[in-house]
Structure 1
C-alpha cells in the first residue's frame, strides 16, 4: 500500500481554525490520527485549543500526560511516536517527520505567510517526491476551504 502525502498551504486562516476541521473529517471516517507539533509548548497549546475550539463540537484527543495513549482517536505529540497506532499523521509547525511508510496518509500543514515555513515545505516536497510517495498539494481558499493545485 502506498502512502499518500498531502501538503496543506495555510494562507487565510491559522492552523487553529483549519486543523480541527480536518481532524473531525478523519474521525468521521474512523481513522486514528497522530498530530506531531514542532515543540512541546505548541503541543500543549493545541491540546488546550482542541477542547474549546467550537462550543458545538467535541473532538476526542489526548497527550502522553493524559494517559491511555493507545486508546486516543487523536493523539498529540511533539515526538515521532505513534502509541495509538494511527494510520494518519499530521505534521504541523515544521515538525520533522518520522519514516512515513507506517502510515496510509501523511498531512503536512504549513503557514504560507512564513517564508521559513514555506521554504521548509518546498524542501520536504522535493524530499518526499524523491522517495516516490504519491503527493497532493492543497491551497487554502479565502473562505478557509481547500483547492487542489497539484
Structure 2
C-alpha cells in the first residue's frame, strides 16, 4: 500500500495548501490528479489557482474533460483520472479507494478542520485506508505550522 497524508486544515485555505503541495509534486516531475466532489467547486478552485502566486510560480493545470487531459500536469476532476498519475489529492470529502493508494506515489486527503462533518469523514477514511494496509500520516497546523501528529 502507498502513503496517504491527511492534512487537517485549520489556518491555511484549501487553495494555499493545494498550491503548496501540488507545486512540490510538479517540481518532482509528478502528474497530479486533484479530485473533488462538485464540479462548481472545482471550477472555483481552477480560477483561484490561475490567480494565485506570481508568474514565476505559475501552476499549470486544467479541468478534466478537455482534449488534452493527459498532458495536464494537474488535472482537476470528480472521477479517477485513470491515466497513471503519480500523485492524487482528494478535497471536499472526495473518496479514495484503498487500491488507489498503491497506484500513486503519494495521496493527500485535505479536509476542513473547522467543519465537524469533514473531520468525521476524514476519520472514516483514515480507518478504512489504514485497515486496508495503507501507511497514513496525519498532519495538523494547529500550532501555526504543519506538524506530524500521528502515523500508522
Under a length normalisation based on structure 1, what TM-score does the superposition of the two structures give?
0.91
Aligned length: 147
Name the residue aligned to 1:148: 148
Which 4+ residue blocks in structure 1 deviate beyond 4 angstroms? none
Q: Distance in 2 between matches of 1:68 and 1:80?
A: 16
Residue 80 of structure 1: SS of its match in structure 2?
A: coil
1:78-115: per-residue Cα shift (whole Å, max 9, x none)? 112234x2111000000122441321211000000000
The offset of 1:23, in angstroms, is 0.7
Match in the other structure for 1:37: 36
- 1:76 aligns with 76
* Alignment correspondent of 1:10: 9
Structure 1 runs not aligned, ≥5 long:
none
| Unmatched runs of 5 consecutive residues or more in structure 2 | none
Deviation at 1:140, TM superposition (A): 1.7
Q: CA deviation at 1:142?
A: 4.9
Measure how far apart 1:65 and its partner are.
4.4
Measured after TM superposition, the shift of residue 55 of structure 1 is 2.9
Q: Shift of the alpha carbon at 1:27?
A: 1.1
State the match for 2:60 in structure 1. 60
Q: Secondary structure at the match of 1:149?
A: strand
